[in-house]
Amino acid sequence: MAEESIIDKVSGIEITPTDIEAVLDLVRTVRILQDYMNDQTAHGIAELMSTVLKITNAIMSTDLVDIVERGLQDPQLDKALLNPKNVGVSGMFKQMQDDDFQKGLGIMLELVKAIGRATKE
């Protein structure tokens, strides 16, 4: 009697060859993933995630995230993305007089120097 109720519920659904092929594709994908996953792969993924989480933790413990977030929300950045200007060397030198440019450049230089110092360790 339980089978009849299941059959009655299923009988109203039309299953097309496309549906069957989609299910078979899912099964094939699962089999590929099962074959791919082994101890070495799991260990590699764990190491990668550990590194990503360490970097994330380091970034989150600074004000860098807040500064970058505010910078990305700047309306002038949106305008520049929609209509970027061609800037040459002389344009760069002109920007050297801008206070915001100087501060941003200063942050970038300190980041590059910190990366350089980190290579000594």
**113 within 8 A of 120, measured Cβ to Cβ:** no
Closest C-alpha among 73, 76, 79 to residue 101: 76
Query: What's the CA gap between 55 and 65, in Å, rounded?
Result: 12
pLDDT in tens, 8-60: 455 667 778 888 899 999 999 998 888 888 888 888 889 999 999 998 888 88
What average pLDDT does range 60-86 have in this prediction? 88
Query: How far, in Å, CA of 92 to CA of 64, rounded?
Result: 24
Task: Report the pLDDT averaged over residues 103-114.
Answer: 92
Rounded to the nearest integer, the mean pLDDT of the chain is 85
Reduce the DSSP state of residue 86 to 3 states and report it: coil
Check residue 9 and give its pLDDT: 52
**Which H or E run contains 32?**
helix 17-36
> How far, in Å, CA of 104 to CA of 95, rounded?
11
